Amino acid sequence: MKNSQTLKQKKKILVIKLSGSVFNFKTTSQSLRQYARLLLEMQTRVQPIVVSGGGIIARNYVNLARSLGSDESSLDIMGIEISRLNAKLLSAALGDYVYPVIPTNLEEMSIACESGKIIVSGGLHPGQSTNATSALICEKIKADRFLNATDVNGIYDSDPNKNPKAKMFKEITIKKCMDLLNTESTQAGSYDLMDIVALKVIERSKIPTWVIKSDPRVIRNLVMKNSQSGTKITT
């Protein structure tokens, strides 16, 4: 038992913010099982902690509630609840290998980490994107690496969905990243890639961070084969 516990303690901790685009109206059990298989494979080397985004379902709810007059704090809570439902979907695909409770705050996350199991979470606090939440989790539990798995390949000098000539950075400094993102909206449901809060947490705790495509093959190659994927954020 002691040897097993020692191995768990030595295992590096990897936090993955999983894009909300994984959870949409066309999501299938097969696609979720692909991520589950990936996490189980990764668990042989690291302890994975996944933070699920809200995605288009959360945005639809938030936009509808906003049009009905809901305040931004209430919209934040709605988005968090949907991200936790997404977390429960992924947890269902993992079965007995996942920590059985969806953490709702940093203290619960710390306790869950002691289990050595795969942990799946959604948002934690109103006013924070799931990117910022993921960075704070990294800081709290002293994670070894943070992967922000998004719906694009990395960080670009402009929106690649709008500009076909956008160039992707292989590496980018925190300062440069902040310069690119300082006009980002802070309305509920509008967060994208990285926000200023997430970047400040990454900077102050010097968290090794990558922004990559939310694709099981891409994530696997980066974690298991140390491939040079996506954009590395340097502090």
Quickly state the pLDDT bin for 192 (edges 50, 70, 90). low
Asked if residues 94 and 32 have their Cβ atoms less than 8 Å apart, the reply is no
Greater model confidence, 163 or 198 = 198
Largest CA distance in the chain: 57
* Helices vs strands, H then E, count in the chain: 9, 7
Beta bridge partners of 173: 234
pLDDT tens by residue, 106-144: 999 999 999 999 999 999 999 999 999 999 999 999 999
State CA 7 to chain mean position distance.
25
Quickly state the pLDDT bin for 160 (edges 50, 70, 90). confident
Asked if residues 207 and 201 have their Cβ atoms less than 8 Å apart, the reply is yes
pLDDT for residue 190 is more than 70: no
Looking at residue 193, what is its pLDDT? Answer: 73
- Give the C-alpha separation, 108 to 113, whole Å: 9
Looking at residue 9, what is its pLDDT? Answer: 52
Looking at residue 10, what is its pLDDT? Answer: 67
Name 107's Cβ contacts closer than 8 Å, sequence gap at least 6.
Answer: none
Looking at residue 1, what is its pLDDT? Answer: 44
- Give the C-alpha separation, 189 to 162, whole Å: 20
pLDDT for residue 146 is more than 80: yes
DSSP-assigned letter for residue 168: B
pLDDT for residue 65 is more than 70: yes
Percent of the chain with pLDDT over 90: 78
Domains of the chain (ranges, CATH numbers):
2-234 (3.40.1160.10)
pLDDT for residue 76 is more than 60: yes
Q: What tokens were used for 42? A: 């990764």
Greater model confidence, 160 or 168 = 168
Looking at residue 8, what is its pLDDT? Answer: 44
Mean pLDDT of 209-213: 96
Helix or strand holding residue 47 (H, E): strand 46-52
What would the DSSP string read from start to end of 109-159?
HHHHHTT-SBEEE---STT--HHHHHHHHHHHHT-SEEEEEESSSS-BSS-
What's the start-to-end Cα distance of the chain, in Å?
Answer: 39
- Give the C-alpha separation, 13 to 71, whole Å: 36
Asked if residues 145 and 127 have their Cβ atoms less than 8 Å apart, the reply is no
Asked if residues 33 and 211 have their Cβ atoms less than 8 Å apart, the reply is no
pLDDT for residue 180 is more than 90: no
Looking at residue 24, what is its pLDDT? Answer: 93
pLDDT tens by residue, 28-52: 999 999 999 999 999 999 999 999 9
